[in-house]
Structure 1
């Protein structure tokens, strides 16, 4: 690939959140001598590259190109910030990196880095030296991918590193095929280089901002891991290897582990297309592909096993109780059933993580419901005391949570069975009715239709709507002392709350709610149950804004008559005001009213 095309492909748009730097004029940014020096460096790079490709005696030029590639923008211009003009012309550092990529790709394709049986000692020394320079060049690229010189250089270095990986893999395949004499040689992939690239991607967040690091992961998945079977397979393996090595490394602090875990989560979450058949695994980055269909790269089960190990490494870190991991844990729970679980060959391995999150309480428990429900439905997992734990989630914070709609969708599925005990269903209805007394209107309009639907599904609970005292003793006690609600709100077991002996008086109280929509929807329990069921989805996504817009959008047929009397005074004088105005007394010793009292006197 030509130098200008790779540099142009590496351009990234600046973040809209950051301030756009002022574009300096030529007199401010670079003098004529600097422009000349820069042009001379570019010409020098091209000259060194051409000499290396022409003759082996110029191999020492690789050392000079490596020195130029190691110099970042800070070393080239210590007291100046890199300007847009410099980005447009391309930095010498990137130009040297591109030139070295072309050099080593030519050497790999020609077999110049391979040892042969008939090779002399001098030639072996040259090959060994070239391999050392290749390793040094790879280290330079990995530093750039990790964000040493900014996001522009990181994107370019990622492209160069992947092209070098392809050249190394094809050179290994060619060497193996020539030694065997056919294409049936064992498939070889440069796993070490890919593992180092993945490590740099995961740690890029330590040097780059979040948007730049995620953009780098997007490019890796879009161009390579998302399309190429071999890159995706070994990238999964690299993620688990890198996270394990960073966790065991005592010299790297906890900050590196957190950065790597967040980077691994984002990288893995982008790979959401799970292959179903081996025929879908046909596109390879390192060619020729394996000749035998029994190879692991053609196995869907092996792909899922690698992805499962990678996700388990991320979830193991996300399960930690530190504050920095709570956000990662919630993000993992948000995609547990849609992105993570389909990759698992054994979804039961997620059970420990999900149950720990389910027992944590609060928003974490609400998010863990989706993944736990997936295991119950798809894998027939039995969770002991599931409904007791579900009942404990009905607290004062539930109806104020942003995950309220997701919870009601799942709870509607959990309580849909007609074989559930009536005591349990009555406890859920009573608990939610009690919470509605202190809930926002947007939550109440979701709960009341759901209660209506539950009463239709469980007719045995309908007597909770209107409970009438049957004996004369009960009526006399009701007239004299009132009736105590037998419902025990502090009981955590839904089978022992005595909700079945209570009634839904809370919904009747909602019929006089200050919000007209709540008062209207609450009246459905006092009417005949002629409607089969409400579509709860129509009520779950309501908010203050949507309900306010609905009120403003109503057509008023007749304007209401308002009667009022205009007061003669707005601010009235009082004794404290007079005492406070003693300091501003008039000359004859009489206190003076405050200025506001005088200005707003309409008498």
Structure 2
């Protein structure tokens, strides 16, 4: 006590300020004897974002060394009661008080971790300390309550989405399977309890990107950031090793047999002779279940537009293969597909996976797919992937002719019944029918109706209705690909060369091959120009004149027209 009193007097002489050496002395005293336990609140006061980093670090080292061996002996809560409240045990009161100080320490550490004032080095040490408490804070087991407080504070903090704390947590701890397991559980709870704070919602619950980011949008960004940084569960047949943060782990079955756990390297070793460690199958099932619940809860939130698009782009690769029941995404994806525009294009990949691999039935799928084929789609960022998927969706030989006729080149080979579109001739039956209708003598109203029907069957009239969104009602099978003749003489050489593929009989598959959609869908004016610039031209077209022309057009080009001005008109024009 004498040393402590001397330190207090020395502090008073300096106006109530502690030096770094004073903090070190206080920490040594705290670790040496219970008599100096009152040093604990003093050291806690320096765990703050406003404290100098070296002061906070010195205090943290002493407090961590003090609490770590005591955690298994502390009560589960600072509000625990004894069996006899009228005559409480002094030792229990002491440990309850220590528990309250430990809870204060955890709270202060989290504040330092999420504060923008904290230096990166201090934030890293603080995160390591929190995770050490998570490892052994629950009687030697994983302390999910502390981890929940950490993630809750990160998600609801004002930190930016790309803050180093999120990256640090993902890079250092997400390789442990138990940390991933509890991360899924906690993120599911956070997503379910997250409530909207404003009315800035767009179509299908998507936030309007033109509005400023709210606290809820920021929280959604962070949940997505955390979910997308959790690596996939990789496991082989017999040699897989799942690394755990806590050696007593949640994937160990309770048994009286000897543990098959190496606590030193904290690895679960999968052995067929052991009934202590869950099999890889069971571990995978448990992880998939928690992964599924976390993602389904997240996708029910009103996602900001940038997050919404990012989710749709990666969903088919990073999420669907890891879900326990991928079909649970059908509502989210069909709703996204019905929005239209670029959102529908981005939802197509995942929707296609559900339809082809998981038995999803979508009655109006081809109607929606046809409606996406607008001019703007050829300038979309993800057009290459879209046209590949479009081609894949139309590979079935069972598609009806009217549907195949509404789409493009490869279908002419897959469906010979629509090859007539390349050269659509007026049938003799139609001609005779039209001729017969011309000879009908009916009253004015019927005659007018007949004339309208007749006009629809005249040569040169395209029956295709480009404004119709339902491919069945477009009359595409009654039309013809008359645009091909204009493409034959197109100014752009690659376009005119592509037309040559239609010169062959498309019904004979030996003479023609389907085009690779990727070779064309990712092109642009820039790629065409660069390609033409690299070509070595052997013959260059030249214009040769025997006499230097004096005008742009000759008089024979415009018979009956004159381009000469009278003298007075010329003078007036020059003035």
TM-score between the two structures when normalised by the length of structure 2? 0.73
- CA distance in 1 between partners of 2:503 and 2:328 (Å): 48
- CA distance in 1 between partners of 2:125 and 2:532 (Å): 54
- CA distance in 1 between partners of 2:42 and 2:544 (Å): 91
* Distance change >3 Å, CA 59–CA 296, structure 1 → 2: farther
* Distance change >3 Å, CA 397–CA 120, structure 1 → 2: same
Please state if 1:466 is matched with 2:426: no
* Distance change >3 Å, CA 122–CA 278, structure 1 → 2: farther
* Distance change >3 Å, CA 383–CA 481, structure 1 → 2: closer
Tell me the residue number matched to 1:52: 30
Conserved in 1, the CA contact under 8 Å of 2:402 and 2:477? yes
Please state if 1:233 is matched with 2:181: yes
- What is the CA-CA distance between 1:300 and the residue it aligns to? 2.1
Please state if 1:164 is matched with 2:133: yes
TM-score between the two structures when normalised by the length of structure 1? 0.70
Conserved in 2, the CA contact under 8 Å of 1:202 and 1:260? yes
Secondary structure of residue in 2 paired with 1:483: coil
1:51-130 equivalent positions in 2, closer than 5 A = 51-72=29-50, 91-108=54-71, 111=73, 121-130=89-98
Q: Which runs of 5+ in 1 are unaligned?
A: 1-35, 77-89, 174-187, 430-450, 568-574, 580-590, 594-603
* Distance change >3 Å, CA 426–CA 165, structure 1 → 2: same
- CA distance in 2 between partners of 1:418 and 1:296 (Å): 44
Conserved in 2, the CA contact under 8 Å of 1:240 and 1:310? yes
CA displacement 1:453-493 (0-9 Å, x = unmatched): 22121122212111233449599999x97510011222222
Tell me the residue number matched to 2:368: 389
* Distance change >3 Å, CA 299–CA 127, structure 1 → 2: same
Please state if 1:194 is matched with 2:147: yes
* Structure (1 or 2) with the greater helix fraction: 1
* Distance change >3 Å, CA 151–CA 473, structure 1 → 2: farther
Please state if 1:535 is matched with 2:516: yes
Tell me the residue number matched to 2:117: 149
- CA distance in 2 between partners of 1:462 and 1:65 (Å): 85
Tell me the residue number matched to 1:348: 327
- What is the CA-CA distance between 1:420 and the residue it aligns to? 0.9
- What is the CA-CA distance between 1:61 and the residue it aligns to? 1.8
- CA distance in 2 between partners of 1:168 and 1:559 (Å): 81
- CA distance in 2 between partners of 1:359 and 1:306 (Å): 29
CA displacement 1:499-545 (0-9 Å, x = unmatched): 11111112322233332222222332134552322222233322333
- What is the CA-CA distance between 1:551 and the residue it aligns to? 1.9
CA displacement 1:199-221 (0-9 Å, x = unmatched): 133235x23x333x2x4323222
- What is the CA-CA distance between 1:362 and the residue it aligns to? 0.6
1:386-425 equivalent positions in 2, closer than 5 A = 386-425=365-404
- CA distance in 1 between partners of 2:237 and 2:170 (Å): 20
- Picking from 153, 164, 168, the partner of 1:219 is 168
Conserved in 2, the CA contact under 8 Å of 1:189 and 1:286? yes
Q: Which protein shows a greater Rg? A: 2
Secondary structure of residue in 1 paired with 2:405: helix
Cα RMSD (Å): 3.8
CA displacement 1:363-391 (0-9 Å, x = unmatched): 11111111111111121111122111111
Please state if 1:312 is matched with 2:271: no
1:503-518 equivalent positions in 2, closer than 5 A = 503-518=480-495
Conserved in 1, the CA contact under 8 Å of 2:504 and 2:512? no
Please state if 1:258 is matched with 2:217: yes
Conserved in 1, the CA contact under 8 Å of 2:47 and 2:60? yes
